[in-house]
């Protein structure tokens, strides 16, 4: 564990320094060499799943020894956890790959590591102490991991956590973090309903691409409304907007193909992607009509004007979009999909309905979803480059049989996202630890998935994990009256914790700062670990540690535990594991003086360390 920005800290002094020094060694086993002084930095990625770019620590006695070169031999896999053939396929394909490339997978993660990891990845927060103990005490060692995955996906206790986390993650993907917060909340409300009903993914995408109605009645319309592009002068010929941002964003999100550069020219690395492909897709959006004028872009706190999205057959009525190539030659195209399919003659469907058909029927639709979800859980996609949305000749798939096989199961299971999550999380690869060995320690080995990569928490995960550590949610949730629906005074549909919502809003305002390009992409994401630590070292965390109501420290002391037991509770609350003997020995030597101040210092140091920040 490495505490950064130790200068000007307001707590702990010598206690925190010695604590950090002791835990630096302890956490070296989660993916870095003990003598490596390079600190992890947040990598700029579109899905905000930045991972550490440090060299991985090996679990060999000497990292300087040459890598073993054993003869390729089959790696035996037992029955798949969870029992599904899709998980069996993942296990067998990776085992064959490891054997063919003389790779030895890392040791399995401990129960404590796995429990923390799966809570973060499925619910977006660390587990509470009682959740850790409940899992650790399960004596069914053979099935306990599969049982935990099933519980997090299906138990009613976790229903709101699951819906909120995935709705929030997808709102960021669909809208970025910029824009009016009311439109974001409307999108989140809609997505929470979809995830709550486990809506098939193809239906969700169809609804997003074909959405119509008012922003406060159908939250799905906010996706297209956020990316309409520049207004056009000649609506009958050109349409109301140029629809450039939604063209590239929809294909990238739902098909995993980055066609944005073909707006201006043929793709330089993929000769099959032409400029005509971009504008052919673009033509499907040219009959979109927006009623209402939104506030200026990126003004999150301004009043949200009600907007309406619909189709207007009088727009772009010649079904032709004109574009100019690099030689200043003006060309024209009708609505045409990437594979050349055009609008069927005599159809009564709208252009966006037809586009939705083409997108969902495309072979890359299921593959792109599997790759994106895989990247969520493993920190990178299945291609040579880590991006989860960049298929093409320039970025070949490293595990094509795995990707195609799981994509087929995903289609066969009616695009059930919970099933897909279960298949991935039950895989042997997902259970592996992050400590490298001599056969998988180099950056080029990351695409082998023979060890778990370190991932920085997203700002949302960091907020919810801090809240969990500091508040320790109760085992039996209190019933709270649902908040009023925004849909024309309709009956209340879900619970809204306004205090948490406002605190989270303030947190995100401080932690993130965004700059956008013409597609609405986030070029710069400043929610780095360094900034997170600066915030946590501020007055907010100081106040939380010292408050008298539902205080994790006070509650641990109130259970009648001795100092050793209280320290153990704090380790469980912050790091999801028990304190190690050597850590406890060092801390007990420093435990003189005011005991509560000492425990506050300990907890503060734990919440400011890499082991808390990183998902490992």
Express each pLDDT in 204-258 by its tens digit: 999 999 999 999 999 999 999 999 999 999 999 999 999 999 999 999 999 999 8
φ/ψ (deg, to 5) at 330: -85, 125
One domain for residues 226 and 341: yes
Portion of the chain with pLDDT greater than 70, in percent: 75
Q: Has residue 344 got a pLDDT over 80?
A: yes
Q: Which residue has the higher pLDDT, 538 or 612?
A: 612
Q: Has residue 148 got a pLDDT over 80?
A: yes
Give the pLDDT confidence score for residue 523 in this predicted structure.
Answer: 40
Q: Which residue has the higher pLDDT, 513 or 615?
A: 615
8 Å CB contact between 453 and 378:
yes
Domain stop point among 317, 343, 361: 361
Q: Is 583 part of a structural domain of the chain?
A: no
One domain for residues 349 and 446: no
Confidence band of 186 (pLDDT split at 50, 70, 90):
very high
Q: Is 573 part of a structural domain of the chain?
A: no
Domain stop point among 455, 474, 497: 455
One domain for residues 267 and 374: no
Q: Which residue has the higher pLDDT, 525 or 103?
A: 103
Q: Which residue has the higher pLDDT, 37 or 444?
A: 444
One domain for residues 212 and 266: yes
One domain for residues 400 and 333: no
One domain for residues 197 and 346: yes
Domain that holds residue 390: 74-105+363-455
Q: Is 16 part of a structural domain of the chain?
A: no
How many angstroms separate the CA atoms of 88 and 102, rounded?
21
Q: Which tens digit of pLDDT belongs to each residue from 559-610?
A: 877 899 999 999 999 999 999 999 998 888 888 788 888 998 899 889 888 8
One domain for residues 282 and 213: yes
Mean pLDDT throughout 433-450?
A: 95
Q: Is 377 part of a structural domain of the chain?
A: yes
Q: What average pLDDT does the structure give for the chain?
A: 82
Q: Is 544 part of a structural domain of the chain?
A: no
Give the pLDDT confidence score for residue 96 in this predicted structure.
Answer: 96
Name the H helices within 235-350. Answer: 235-238, 244-255, 275-282
**564-567 — which CB contacts under 8 Å span 24+ positions?**
564/588, 566/599, 567/599, 567/602
Q: Has residue 118 got a pLDDT over 90?
A: yes
Alpha carbon 213 to its chain centroid, in Å, reads 29
Give the tokens for residue 551. Answer: 């205080």
Q: Has residue 521 got a pLDDT over 70?
A: no
Q: Has residue 17 got a pLDDT over 60?
A: no
Give the tokens for residue 295. Answer: 């506030």
Assign 360 to helix, strand or coil: helix
Q: Has residue 532 got a pLDDT over 50?
A: yes
Q: Is 493 part of a structural domain of the chain?
A: no
Q: Which residue has the higher pLDDT, 496 or 114?
A: 114
Q: Which residue has the higher pLDDT, 608 or 422?
A: 422
Q: Is 319 part of a structural domain of the chain?
A: yes
Per the structure, the count of domains in the chain is 2
One domain for residues 316 and 405: no
Q: Which residue has the higher pLDDT, 255 or 42?
A: 255
Q: Has residue 301 got a pLDDT over 70?
A: no
Q: Is 420 part of a structural domain of the chain?
A: yes
Which range (88-102, 261-275, 293-307) has the least confidence? 261-275
Name the H helices within 211-332. Answer: 221-225, 235-238, 244-255, 275-282
Give the pLDDT confidence score for residue 508 in this predicted structure.
Answer: 72
DSSP string, 100-153: HTT--PPPBPPHHHHHHHHHHHHHSSPPPHHHHHHHHT---TTTHHHHHHHHHH
One domain for residues 250 and 307: yes
How many angstroms separate the CA atoms of 604 and 570, rounded?
10
Which sign does the torsion angle of CA 14, 15, 20, 23 carry?
positive
Mean pLDDT throughout 482-510?
A: 60
Which range (381-395, 450-464, 520-534) has the least confidence? 520-534
One domain for residues 98 and 169: no
Which residues, other chains included, contact 203 with Cβ-Cβ below 8 Å and sequence gap of 6+? 415
**473-480 — which CB contacts under 8 Å span 24+ positions?**
473/128, 475/130, 477/157
Mean pLDDT throughout 498-524?
A: 59
One domain for residues 244 and 389: no
Q: Has residue 190 got a pLDDT over 60?
A: yes
How many angstroms separate the CA atoms of 264 and 248, rounded?
12
Domain stop point among 344, 361, 378: 361
One domain for residues 295 and 396: no
How many angstroms separate the CA atoms of 525 and 515, rounded?
8
Give the pLDDT confidence score for residue 592 in this predicted structure.
Answer: 78
Q: Rounded to whole angstroms, what are the CA distances from 433 to 63, 107, 438?
A: 17, 6, 14
């Amino acid at each position: 564990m490495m505490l950064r920005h130790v200068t000007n800290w307001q707590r702990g002094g010598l206690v925190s320094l010695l604590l950090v020094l002791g835990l630096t060694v302890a956490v070296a086993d989660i993916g870095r060499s003990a003598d490596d002084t390079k600190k992890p930095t947040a990598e700029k990625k579109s899905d905000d799943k930045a991972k550490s770019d440090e060299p991985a620590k090996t679990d060999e006695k000497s990292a300087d020894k040459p890598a073993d070169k054993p003869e390729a031999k089959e790696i035996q896999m037992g029955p798949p956890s969870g029992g599904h053939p899709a998980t069996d396929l993942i296990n067998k394909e990776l085992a064959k790959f490891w054997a063919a490339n003389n790779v030895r997978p890392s040791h399995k993660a401990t129960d404590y590591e796995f429990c923390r990891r799966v809570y973060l990845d499925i619910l977006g927060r660390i587990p509470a102490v009682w959740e850790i103990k409940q899992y650790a005490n399960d004596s069914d060692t053979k099935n306990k991991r599969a049982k935990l995955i099933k519980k997090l996906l299906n138990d009613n206790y976790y229903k709101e956590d699951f819906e909120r986390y995935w709705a929030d993650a997808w709102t960021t993907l669909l809208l970025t973090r910029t824009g009016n917060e009311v439109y974001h909340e409307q999108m989140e409300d809609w997505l929470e309903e979809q995830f709550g009903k486990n809506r098939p993914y193809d239906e969700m995408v169809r609804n997003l691409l074909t959405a119509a109605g008012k922003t406060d009645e159908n939250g799905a319309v906010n996706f297209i409304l956020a990316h309409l592009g520049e207004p056009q002068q000649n609506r009958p010929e050109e349409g109301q907007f140029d629809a450039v941002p939604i063209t590239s964003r929809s294909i990238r999100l739902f098909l995993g193909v980055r066609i944005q550069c073909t707006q201006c020219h043929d793709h330089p690395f993929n000769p099959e992607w032409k400029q005509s492909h971009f504008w052919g897709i673009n033509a499907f959006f040219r009959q979109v009509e927006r009623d209402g004028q939104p506030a200026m872009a990126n003004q999150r706190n301004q009043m949200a004007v009600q907007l309406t999205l619909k189709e207007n057959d009088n727009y772009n009525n010649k079904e032709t979009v004109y574009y100019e190539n690099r030689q200043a030659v003006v060309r024209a195209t009708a609505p045409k999909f990437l594979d050349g399919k055009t609008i069927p003659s005599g159809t009564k469907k709208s252009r966006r309905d037809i586009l939705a058909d083409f997108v969902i029927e495309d072979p890359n639709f299921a593959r792109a979803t599997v790759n994106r979800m895989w990247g969520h859980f493993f920190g990178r996609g299945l291609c040579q480059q880590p991006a989860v949305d960049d298929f093409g000749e320039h970025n070949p798939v490293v595990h094509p049989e795995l990707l195609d096989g799981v994509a087929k199961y995903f289609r066969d299971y009616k695009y059930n996202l919970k099933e897909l999550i279960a298949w991935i999380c039950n895989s042997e690869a997902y259970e592996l630890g992050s400590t490298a060995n001599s056969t998988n320690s180099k950056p080029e080995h990351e695409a082998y998935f023979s060890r778990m990569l370190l991932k920085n928490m997203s700002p949302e995960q960091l907020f919810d994990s801090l809240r969990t550590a500091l508040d320790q949610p109760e085992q039996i949730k209190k019933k709270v009256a649902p908040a009023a629906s925004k849909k024309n005074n309709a009956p209340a549909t879900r619970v809204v914790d306004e205090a948490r919502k406002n605190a989270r809003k303030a947190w995100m305002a401080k932690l993130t700062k965004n700059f956008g390009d013409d597609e609405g992409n986030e070029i710069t994401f400043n929610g780095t670990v360094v900034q997170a630590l600066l915030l946590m070292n501020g007055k907010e965390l100081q106040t939380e540690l010292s408050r008298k109501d539902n205080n994790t420290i006070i509650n641990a002391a109130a259970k009648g535990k001795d100092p050793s037991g209280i320290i153990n509770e704090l380790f469980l609350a912050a790091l999801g594991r028990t304190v190690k003997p050597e850590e406890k020995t060092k801390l007990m030597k420093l435990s003189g003086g005011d005991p509560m101040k000492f425990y506050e210092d300990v907890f503060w140091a734990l919440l400011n360390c890499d082991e808390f920040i990183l998902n490992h």
